[in-house]
Amino acid sequence: MLEENEQIQVRKKKLEDIKAMGINPYGQRYDVKDKAGAINVSFGEKTKEELEADKVHITAAGRIVAFRSFGKAAFAHIQDSTGRVQIYMKKDHIGEEQYKLMNLLDLGDHIGVEGHLFRTKTNELTIEVERFTLLSKSLRPLPEKFHGLTDIEMRYRQRYVDLIVNPEVKETFRVRNRIIKAIRAFLEEKGFLEVETPMMQSIPGGATARPFTTHHNALDMDLFLRIAPELYLKRLIVGGFERVYELNRNFRNEGISIKHNPEFTMLEFYMAYADYNVLMELTEELFAAIAMQSCGSMKITYQGDEIDFTAPWPRMSMEQAIEKYTDATAEDLNNLDRAISFARANDVKLMPGMSLAKVVNEIFEKTTEFRLINPTFITEYPVELSPLSRRNDQNPEIVDRFELFIAGREMANAFSELNDPMDQASRFMDQVAQRESGDVEAQFMDEDYVRALEYGMPPTAGQGIGIDRLVMLFTDSASIRDVILFPQLKKEAKRGGAAASEETEAASAQPKEKQ
């Protein structure tokens, strides 16, 4: 049971007084005709005299977010999804019973008001209330400082309060909505079909990550929440859909941090008869469309850095990037002992028995990735790190793959898809061997997917983009929790106990957007 402080007890007493008046404190339908934002836009420039002449009638509703009583009159501000507007209630205008009810109102209550517009002596646009209706009684007081809820953990745990008292938070999620709309419009215009694939899978595939496990009672079988939709989307390419995309949730049983949430939104799309070079150009177009739709400019500022989305973007191999931003040489990066020595000298932590490819990847992630501020394509990933990617024709030790980095973070992962069923089966077996040796993130053997490839998949390119990180970028948000309405947190501490920390930096491996 939640604690009850004195303010809550006072509000509950008011609740009983309201009921005693024969008023239901939790109303039903209220026909709102005017929104606060539209009122301010439409009548914000009207003079006092014009408002008196026009006698503009208003029917609005919202939450009381400011209240000042002056005996037989009161001023208040009500807030709806579009903004705030001031209201004025006077005993002579609303009558004895409504005046009595007015004195039982609190900050946080929802009310509907009818009246007409006028300007106060301080020239503020105001609704002079002729009648109001209590729609919902608030039993918990809003944070004392109405202009801000500053406790970070409370903001995430009680997002409903955060949205009430921090208007800029709503704007973040409006931008998120615009970004998703822009993505869908862009892909639809390019001829892609939006599809839905299973969230529960008997074999988790499409990424190198640890899955969540559940159990289906009727079938008496374990299932996994999907880590990626990739293998199902490519089955659709085999089936004859040449351009498909899915924008939906993935789940990875891994660490929680300011960059990772175990439940996250992912865009994946696949394009038959294309390769990863085509997707680089398509990605430049897509991000330009998102930038213009969400921010109205090809240049944004993220955490103090200016980012320019104007194409073309730099393209370099992982080795070239490391050599550019560190003092590593090609010889260091092509010899296991030298690579390990370089890693240790640069405080890069390595696990015992790591291969050269994995050591170089760790070096890149710890010494180079954070330096890639403007959009940069990193290419030439080792086959070992890319079990679903097509080998490069000139160098079979690498694959035709790129990762896109912006603001020091991976934003997208794409490659020419492996469509050779025998090569795919062999790579799955390599992954199985890694699992058997203790790698809990290595992929499973998916025999049905190999069978699908045996029917023939045309040359195909595919890409994954983490939507949450994308929204972070375009809203200048430092934490992924700021762009997810209800982020995952540690279990809340018991009342009176120590507060649960919201900065849970788990030591487990962090998820990749698309492997």
pLDDT at 323: 97
Q: For residues 470 and 176, what is the distance between their CA atoms, to the nearest angstrom?
A: 9
pLDDT in tens, 459-512: 999 999 999 999 999 999 999 999 999 999 888 876 544 444 433 333 333 434
Give the DSSP H or E segment for 266.
strand 263-272
Three-state DSSP at 300 gives strand
Domains, the chain, ordered by start: 6-142 (2.40.50.140), 165-326+368-482 (3.30.930.10)
Whether this prediction's pTM lies above 0.75 is answered by: yes
Highest mean pLDDT among 1-5, 70-74, 275-279: 275-279
Q: Quote the CA–CA distance of 44 and 307 in Å, as a whole number.
A: 36
DSSP string, 126-174: EEEEEEEEEEE---SPPPSSTT----HHHHHHTHHHHHHH-HHHHHHHH
- Alpha helix (H) ranges present in 148-298? 152-157, 159-165, 167-189, 230-239, 276-295
Distance CA 223, CA 216 (A): 7
Q: CA angle at residue 230 from 383 to 436, to 5 degrees?
A: 55
- Averaged pLDDT for residues 416-428: 94
Contact yes or no for 79/146 (Cβ under 8 A): no
Answer yes or no: is pLDDT of 417 > 90.
yes
Residue range 37-52: average pLDDT? Answer: 96
pLDDT tens figures, 94-115: 999 999 999 999 999 999 999 9
Which of the four pLDDT bands, split at 50, 70 and 90, describes residue 151?
Answer: confident
Percent of the chain with pLDDT strictly greater than 90: 82
The gap between the terminal CA atoms of the chain, to the nearest Å, is 45
The rounded mean pLDDT for the chain is 92
**pLDDT tens per residue, range 231-270:** 999 999 999 999 999 999 999 998 888 889 999 999 999 9
**Does position 42 have pLDDT exceeding 60, yes or no?**
yes
Burial class (CB in 10 A: 0-12, 13-18, 19+), 277: middle
pLDDT in tens, 305-324: 999 999 999 999 999 999 99
Task: Kindly state the average pLDDT of the residues 373-389.
Answer: 94
Range ranked top by mean pLDDT from 6-10, 202-206, 341-345, 426-430: 341-345
The answer to whether 143 and 72 have CB atoms below 8 angstroms apart is: no
